Structure 1
Amino acid sequence: MWSKKFLLLLLLPLLFGYWSSAQQVFTLQQAIDTAIANYGIIKAKANYTAASKELVSQARREYLPNVNFGAQQDYGTINGQNGPLYGFGGLNTAAAGPALDRQNWNAAFGSLYLTNVNWDFFAFGRAKEKIKTALAAATQNDKDWQQEIFKHKIKVAATYLNLVAAHQLTRSYQDNLNRADTIRKVVRTRVLNGLIAGVDSSQANAEYSSARIALTKAIDFEQEQSNQLAQLLGIPPREFLVDTSYVTRIPVIPDTTATLDNHPVLQWYKSRIALSNEQSRYYKTLYFPAFSLVGLVQTRGSGFGNNYALDQHDFTQSYWDGVKPTRTNYLFGLGVTWNISQPFRISKQVKSQNFTSKGLQNEYELADQQIRAQLSLADVKIKNALDNYREVPTQVKAASDAYLQKSVLYKNGLTNLVDVQQALYALIRAQTDRDIAYSNVWQALLLKAAAAGDFSIFEY
Structure 2
Amino acid sequence: MSKQGIVSCAVLLSLSLIVYPARAQVLTIQDAIHTAQTNYGTIKAKSEYVNASKATVVQSRKDYLPNLNLSMQQDYGTVNGQNGPLYGMGLSVASSGLPLPEQNWNSAFGALYLTNVNWDFFAFGRAREKIKVSESMVYRDQSDLNQEQFQHGIRVAGAYLSLLAAKRLIRSWENNLQRASGLKNVVVTRAKNGLIPGVDSSLANAEVSNAKISIIQARDYEQEQASRLAQLLGITTQSFVLDTMFITKMPKTINDSSTVIKSHPLLQYYSNRIAVSNQQARYFQTLSYPTLSMFGVFQGRGAGFSATYAADQTAYSHNYFDGVKAVRANYLLGIGATWNLTSILRVKQQVAAQKFVSLGLQEEYNVIDNQIKNQLLLSENKINNAVANFKEAPIQVQSASDAYLQKSVLYKNGLSNIVDITQALYVLNRAETSRDVAFINVWQALLLKAAAAGDLTIFTDL
Confirm or deny a common fold (TM above 0.5). Answer: yes
Q: Distance in 2 between matches of 1:102 and 1:182?
A: 122
Distance 1:189 1:6, change over 3 A: farther
Question: Which residue is 2:187 aligned to?
Answer: 187
Equivalent residue for 2:212?
Answer: 212
Unmatched 5+ stretches in structure 1? none
Q: What are the equivalent positions in structure 2 for 1:31-110 lying under 5 Å apart?
A: 31-88=32-89, 90-110=90-110
Equivalent residues of 2:309, 2:315 under 8 A apart = yes
**CA displacement at 1:14 relative to structure 2:** 6.7
Report the CA distance between 1:16 and its aligned residue.
4.8
Q: How does 1:231-250 map to 2 (within 5 A)?
A: 231-250=231-250
Q: Return closer, same or farther for 1:42/1:407 CA change in 2, 3 Å cut-off.
A: same
Once residues 314 and 49 of structure 2 are traced to their aligned partners in structure 1, the CA distance between those partners, rounded to angstroms, is 65
The residue identity in structure 2 corresponding to 1:171 is R
> SS where residue 237 of structure 2 aligns?
coil
* Residues 277 and 15 of structure 1: CA distance in aligned 2, closer, same or farther (over 3 Å): farther
Q: TM-score, normalised by structure 1?
A: 0.94
Deviations 1:409-430 (A, max 9, x none): 3233332211211111011110
CA distance in 1: counterparts of 2:406 and 2:331, whole angstroms: 110
> How far apart, in 2, do the equivalents of 1:416 and 1:128 lie?
88
Q: Tell me if structure 1 keeps the 8 A contact 2:30–2:460.
A: no
The separation in 1 between residues aligned to 2:188 and 2:57, in whole angstroms, is 80
Superposed, 1:295-444 pairs within 5 Å as 295-444=296-445
Percent same amino acid among aligned pairs? 55
In the aligned structure 2, how far is the partner of 1:195 from the partner of 1:334?
A: 116
Q: Quote the Cα distance in structure 2 between the aligned partners of 1:336 and 1:74.
A: 34
Shift of 1:9: 5.2
How many residues were matched structurally? 454
RMSD: 2.0
TM-score between both structures, scaled by the size of structure 2: 0.94
Q: Does 1:13 align with 2:14?
A: no
2:377, 2:356 → 1: CA distance? 32
The structure-2 alpha-carbon separation of the partners of 1:418 and 1:342, relative to structure 1 and needing over 3 Å to count, comes to same
Instruction: Give the aligned partner of residue 198 of structure 1.
Output: 198
1:84 to partner: Cα distance: 2.0
Higher mean alpha-carbon deviation, 269-278 vs 187-196, is at 187-196
- Return the offset for 1:55: 0.3
| 1:405–1:6 CA distance, 2 compared to 1 (3 A) | farther
* Stretch deviating more after TM superposition (66-75 or 188-197): 188-197
Q: Is contact 2:110-2:323 (8 Å) kept?
A: yes
- SS at structure 2 position matched to 1:336: strand
Please say if residues 277 and 354 of structure 2, whose CA atoms lie closer than 8 Å, have aligned partners that are also in contact: yes
Could you tell me which amino acid in structure 2 is paired with residue 247 of structure 1?
I
CA contact (8 A) 2:115 2:298 kept: yes
Residue identity in the other structure for 2:41: G
> Which runs of 5 or more structure 2 residues have no equivalent in the other structure?
none
**Which residue identity is paired with 2:234?**
G
1:86 counterpart SS class: coil
Question: What are the Cα deviations for residues 272-312 of structure 1, in whole angstroms up to 9, with x where unaligned?
Answer: 11111100110111111000000111111111111222222
Give me the whole-angstrom Cα distance separating, in 2, the residues matched to 1:311 and 1:256: 103
**Counterpart amino acid of 2:17?**
P
Could you list the structure 1 runs, at least 4 aligned residues long, displaced by more than 4 angstroms after superposition. 5-11
Aligned CA distance change for structure 1 residues 348 and 367 (closer, same or farther; 3 Å):
same
The question of whether the paired residues in 1 share the 8 Å contact of 2:262 and 2:453 is answered with no
